[in-house]
């Protein structure tokens, strides 16, 4: 089903469409120009600015990916989501290194972005990033992002995946009851017993898609996540890793999960990345030989 005017989630869809129309140059075109300048050796392009470029490209591609899926353009949507994961992988590493030096951060919400990479099936890159975060304890709370109600759940989900607590301290908050159920019974084979918790999680996701204000923070106010239940899909992907192939049963449980952006897909392998972006990383290693990049 394609989203169009008059349907249930028109507000969220229109917000995503607005972001792409009004900010696409800022999120995609300008960052690519910044990478060109860096590769060409122009003055004033530090590795922090390159990290920012990668960050915007990750966000912009995820917006494009969700918009394409909602328009039933599956090929374009999955390819954009792959590139979003690739840019996220590298900008996360660049930020870790920069925070160590300047203590400046540009993360939006790393826990959700790690879950997106899990949904796409990129287990090894996620494990690499979690290892880096686990060994960078002095600065960890500076740049992890994600203080919303989903964060303790996301941190514990990543801990279940990795086997160790990489997001130190982020699982200390009180879990919402539906998230508690999903974690406590993550390997429950009877889908009927878990449907109420999945439905409640979907309802809460939709309630959290309003714009954050000075007085109220909403967890899924970022346009690409408004109609992308990444926190539920990552849970389903991890169940799949344990042999529970029942994602379709859950995807039929709620209108949010029935959207093209609310389903599990078989993604192509982790991409090599665009030539210009790879050239920027090569230049980064030349300019900063002591910068450890996995």
Query: 36-49: per-residue pLDDT in tens?
Result: 999 998 877 777 78
pLDDT at 188 over 90: yes
Calculate mean pLDDT across residues 77-82: 97
CA distance 51 to 94: 6
Q: Which of 112-121, 163-172, 192-201, 213-222 has the lowest mean pLDDT?
A: 163-172
Q: Does 83 have pLDDT greater than 80? A: yes
Question: 210, 218 in Cβ contact below 8 A?
Answer: yes
Average pLDDT of the chain is: 84
247 falls in which pLDDT band (50, 70, 90)? confident
Of residues 146 and 124, more confidently modeled: 124
Half-sphere exposure of 44 (CA within 13 A, CB side): 2
Owner of token pair 């060994």:
135
The proportion of the chain whose per-residue pLDDT surpasses 90, expressed as a percent, equals: 50
Residue 228's nearest CA partner among 244, 209, 247 is: 209
Average pLDDT score over residue span 69-94: 93
CA–CA dist 221, 12 (Å, integer): 9
* Per-residue pLDDT, 41: 87
The pTM assigned to this predicted structure is 0.89
Q: What residues form DSSP beta bridges with 145?
A: 109
User: In whole angstroms, what is the distance from residue 60 CA to residue 16 CA?
Assistant: 11
Long-range contacts of 276-281 (CB under 8 A, 24+ apart): 276/32, 276/35, 276/36, 276/39, 277/35, 277/54, 277/57, 277/86, 277/87, 277/90, 279/35, 279/39, 280/35, 280/38, 280/39, 280/50, 280/53, 281/90
User: Is residue 231's pLDDT more than 90?
Assistant: yes
């Amino acid at each position: 089903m394609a989203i169009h005017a008059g349907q249930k989630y028109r507000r969220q869809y229109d917000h995503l469409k607005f972001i792409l129309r009004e900010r696409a140059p800022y999120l995609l075109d300008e960052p690519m120009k910044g990478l060109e300048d860096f590769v060409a050796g122009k003055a004033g392009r530090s590795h922090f600015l390159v990290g920012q470029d990668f960050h915007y490209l990750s966000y912009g591609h995820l917006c494009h990916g969700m918009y394409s899926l909602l328009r039933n353009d599956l090929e374009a949507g999955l390819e954009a989501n792959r590139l979003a994961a690739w840019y996220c992988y590298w900008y996360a590493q660049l930020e870790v290194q920069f925070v160590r030096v300047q203590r400046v951060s540009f993360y939006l919400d790393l826990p959700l972005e790690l879950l997106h990479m899990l949904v796409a099936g990129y287990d090894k890159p996620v494990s690499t990033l979690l290892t880096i975060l686990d060994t960078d304890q002095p600065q960890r709370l500076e740049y992890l992002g994600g203080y919303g109600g989903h964060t303790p759940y996301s941190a514990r989900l990543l801990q279940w995946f990795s086997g160790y607590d990489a997001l130190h301290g982020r699982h200390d908050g009180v879990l919402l009851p539906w998230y508690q159920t999903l974690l406590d019974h993550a390997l429950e084979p009877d889908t009927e017993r878990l449907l109420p918790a999945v439905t409640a999680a979907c309802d809460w996701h939709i309630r959290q898609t309003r714009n954050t204000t000075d007085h109220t923070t909403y967890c899924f106010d970022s346009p690409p996540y408004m109609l992308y239940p990444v926190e539920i899909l990552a849970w389903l992907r991890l169940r799949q890793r344990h042999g529970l192939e029942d994602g379709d049963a859950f995807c039929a449980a709620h209108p949010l999960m029935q959207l093209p952006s609310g389903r599990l897909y078989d993604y192509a392998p982790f991409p090599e990345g665009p030539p210009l972006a790879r050239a920027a990383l090569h230049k980064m290693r030349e300019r900063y030989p002591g910068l450890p990049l996995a």
